[in-house]
A and B are shown apart, each in its own frame.
Chain A
């Protein structure tokens, strides 16, 4: 076996087991909603139209958005049930389950209704005339006859659910998407491929077993139904068994969706694991999701950046000096969210605008102010968040920046687009190793429109005074210089000879150069 498959294959069993459990739960819940609704609505034309219309509307919402929407909904729900002493986990399994179940409803509802209304009216008249009650008619006649069509809907729903479940990574649910998203961010195509192939094989296998059940229900071959359903159930039980020991996780480390975050999460995980604690990493979280998850104590610790917290969480538009900003963030977090800022790691990862050195020289651009003059002829490439962030509005406003066009990319593709001239300017991160590697220039910010982005370790309200956590992580404060972070980032981002985020974290941890954090 090729060396490069080793890390992906090591993560595969746990991801696959979680994927199976999530998909199966969502499919069963979707079935419990769709099939009774189909039976109830089939003979009621108005209700039928409303139910199909609603399910259709749900289907038009992008899966990623639906998953993300359940986060604030569950947070609000959690607020509602708090007086009862309950809390809803807003991250991970529950929002994934709800979104995926809703997605699974439409194909099963549509086929359920079509299967029932497509039955021979003479057969239904006979069912009434021999003296069946409505329930007997459904059980003895309608369901067995509609079963092949209903099962076709279940098969469609199963394949959709297994495919869509890969997106559950973004709300912090472990699944095969972890391999795909991590691999995409670090350009580790082997890992992406392992995730995709595993999801595809799972979908094909489940579809084949459901096909066996389907062929069994129509010509009444109970052996087929038992074999197909039995294997499906056995698979789910095996997945549950595989997950069982991991359910008592003590600490949950969050990570956003780019390489540096993966490395830092691995670093934090390794330090906590060294104390003997059970640790789980939830990576691939959106920027806003990560902070809200921490504030709700759904995750215990993650690294965020002062400028991001300042503008996006606190809604500030001024740009004080880095130390002053850190001090007011620390006060604000404790006072309003109960979140503890443990301290800065020692490096900054600022938003910056970057250009190819040759292009910048040709256009005579050294500062963002220079850029503003030529921007109307240029194209901006941004990561998926940048154009929606207040920092971008602040820069654009401060310099009067107007580009001919702007396009969003995932970070790795953004660098490719800059390299081949598809875009002229990109939103880069100052700690990104690719800036030096690709000989890019960062444009200076004379108007100081961009705030500081010191990397800060944040602890959730529930863990703010967890001494084991504080003791394990305090040595990291001020320990990572910008150069070391850039080297680590490059080691996972570069095209040739790249290493995994876990290996980069080990390198970063190796010689902990203690340095004053500087306020």
Chain B
């Protein structure tokens, strides 16, 4: 399988503090990879290296085989979708204008943009009449659906997601996660998602990369991680997740018995 994102020997230092150490990872086309780790583990920095929101000090970052600094940064970003916890919808623009921003920057004509916006609203399961609303009139979950639609609008096949559901309530989070997972498969996307929630990672991704202190400490499928044998940092995360699930299941069983 082709690697669409490759990081080789990448390091990064912020204000004297080293946040990434000689990091190497390849992301295969069509994969759904979760980057998991505690705050400060370097997972968000790793993600942002891909669309050059962060520039590496050393090593190489390639997207679709080309080093990221070999083409204009705007061209690079217009072919990569980016979805993050802050969402960052443009508050003075309608939903349609928000979704259509990258096509507009790419110079698409109005009719083509309007058609694409209609397609995307359907894709993210929102009513067509949302097109004329302003972001302030939407719920948090609806806003992030628009954020995802905006990221996909110009036909990006690579999606970078930074805690995309971090600010949502658990029910909305669960639904949006499942819906995105389905989109990922249907559109043949390659997704790299940062999350600190190991359960979310285990449920959505087909590959989980655990980071600690700027290094990769585990890299396996969810099933392999659950079966054990991972590094201590990863094992601890898995242990918490499985124990909490078991405790909740036991509680439920107890109340059903009583």
Which B residues are in CB contact (< 8 Å) with A125? 53, 84, 86, 88
Which B residues are in CB contact (< 8 Å) with A128? 53, 77
| Complex contact B105–A126 (CB within 8 A) | no
Instruction: Name which of A53-61, A129-137, A195-203 contacts chain B.
Output: A129-137
Give residues of chain B (54-74) contacting chain A, Cβ–Cβ below 8 Å. Answer: 73-74
Q: How far is the CB of A90 from chain B (nearest CB, A)?
A: 46
| Complex contact A121–B86 (CB within 8 A) | yes
Closest to B76 in A: A131
Which B residues are in CB contact (< 8 Å) with A131? 73-78, 102, 105
Closest to B101 in A: A130
Bound-state Cα–Cα, A129 to B53, Å: 7
Closest to A124 in B: B88
Bound-state Cα–Cα, A129 to B154, Å: 13
Q: How far is the CB of B162 from chain A (nearest CB, A)?
A: 10
Which B residues are in CB contact (< 8 Å) with A126? 82, 84, 86-90, 147, 150
| Complex contact A220–B92 (CB within 8 A) | yes
A–B pairs, 26, beta carbons within 8 Å = A120-B88, A123-B89, A125-B53, A125-B88, A126-B82, A126-B87, A126-B88, A126-B89, A126-B90, A127-B88, A128-B53, A129-B77, A130-B77, A130-B78, A130-B82, A130-B105, A131-B75, A131-B102, A132-B74, A132-B105, A133-B74, A141-B90, A144-B92, A145-B90, A145-B91, A145-B92
Residue B195 at the chain A interface, CB threshold 8 Å: no
Bound-state Cα–Cα, A191 to B158, Å: 74
* CB contacts between A and B, total, < 8 Å: 64
Q: Contacts A122-B84, A136-B105 given: A129-B51 contact, CB under 8 Å?
A: yes
How does the 8 Å CB contact mask read for B81-109 relative to A, with 1 for contact and 0 for none? 01010111111100000000110010000
Which B residues are in CB contact (< 8 Å) with A144? 92
* Residues of B bordering A, CB below 8 Å: 51, 53, 73-78, 82, 84, 86-92, 101-102, 105, 147, 150
Closest to A128 in B: B53
Which A residues are in CB contact (< 8 Å) with B78? 130-131
Which B residues are in CB contact (< 8 Å) with A129? 51, 53, 77, 82, 84, 88
Closest to A145 in B: B92
Bound-state Cα–Cα, A131 to B154, Å: 11
- Of the candidates B87, B90, B150, the one having the most CB atoms from chain A within 10 angstroms of its own CB is B90
How does the 8 Å CB contact mask read for A101-133 relative to B, with 1 for contact and 0 for none? 000000000000000000011111111111111
Closest to B102 in A: A130
| Complex contact B82–A122 (CB within 8 A) | no
Bound-state Cα–Cα, A272 to B159, Å: 82
Which A residues are in CB contact (< 8 Å) with B150? 126, 130
Q: How far is the CB of A130 from chain B (nearest CB, A)?
A: 5
Bound-state Cα–Cα, A126 to B75, Å: 15
Closest to B104 in A: A140
Q: How far is the CB of A307 from chain B (nearest CB, A)?
A: 67
Majority SS at the chain A contact face: helix
Give residues of chain A (140-156) contacting chain B, Cβ–Cβ below 8 Å. Answer: 140-141, 144-145
Which B residues are in CB contact (< 8 Å) with A133? 74
| Complex contact A123–B91 (CB within 8 A) | yes
Which A residues are in CB contact (< 8 Å) with B89? 123, 126
Q: How far is the CB of B101 from chain A (nearest CB, A)?
A: 5
Bound-state Cα–Cα, A136 to B102, Å: 12
Which A residues are in CB contact (< 8 Å) with B73? 131
Q: How far is the CB of A54 from chain B (nearest CB, A)?
A: 30
Q: How far is the CB of B23 from chain A (nearest CB, A)?
A: 21
- Of the candidates A129, A140, A144, A220, the one having the most CB atoms from chain B within 10 angstroms of its own CB is A129
Bound-state Cα–Cα, A124 to B84, Å: 12
Which A residues are in CB contact (< 8 Å) with B92? 144-145, 218, 220
Which A residues are in CB contact (< 8 Å) with B101? 130, 140
Q: How far is the CB of A129 from chain B (nearest CB, A)?
A: 4
- Of the candidates A131, A133, A218, A220, the one having the most CB atoms from chain B within 10 angstroms of its own CB is A131
Which B residues are in CB contact (< 8 Å) with A136? 105
Q: How far is the CB of A227 from chain B (nearest CB, A)?
A: 20
Which B residues are in CB contact (< 8 Å) with A123? 88-91
Q: How far is the CB of B75 from chain A (nearest CB, A)?
A: 7
Bound-state Cα–Cα, A447 to B105, Å: 86
Which A residues are in CB contact (< 8 Å) with B84? 122, 125-126, 129
The 8 Å CB contact of B88, one of A122, A140, A220, is A122
Closest to B153 in A: A130
Q: How far is the CB of B77 from chain A (nearest CB, A)?
A: 4
Give residues of chain A (169-224) contacting chain B, Cβ–Cβ below 8 Å. Answer: 218, 220
Q: How far is the CB of B155 from chain A (nearest CB, A)?
A: 13
Which B residues are in CB contact (< 8 Å) with A124? 88
| Complex contact A127–B90 (CB within 8 A) | yes
Bound-state Cα–Cα, A218 to B105, Å: 23
Which A residues are in CB contact (< 8 Å) with B86? 120-122, 125-126
Bound-state Cα–Cα, A125 to B83, Å: 10
Q: How far is the CB of B156 from chain A (nearest CB, A)?
A: 10
CB-based closest 3 A-B pairs? A126-B88, A122-B86, A131-B78
Closest to A122 in B: B86
Closest to B73 in A: A131
Give residues of chain A (322-338) contacting chain B, Cβ–Cβ below 8 Å. Answer: none
Bound-state Cα–Cα, A84 to B164, Å: 65
Closest to B105 in A: A131
Q: How far is the CB of A418 from chain B (nearest CB, A)?
A: 64
Bound-state Cα–Cα, A145 to B102, Å: 19
Bound-state Cα–Cα, A322 to B75, Å: 85
| Complex contact B77–A122 (CB within 8 A) | no
Q: How far is the CB of B247 from chain A (nearest CB, A)?
A: 36
Closest to B92 in A: A144
Which B residues are in CB contact (< 8 Å) with A132? 74, 105
- Of the candidates B76, B82, B92, B105, the one having the most CB atoms from chain A within 10 angstroms of its own CB is B92
Bound-state Cα–Cα, A218 to B53, Å: 29
Closest to A126 in B: B88
Bound-state Cα–Cα, A133 to B78, Å: 11
Closest to B160 in A: A129
Bound-state Cα–Cα, A220 to B97, Å: 14
Q: How far is the CB of B73 from chain A (nearest CB, A)?
A: 8
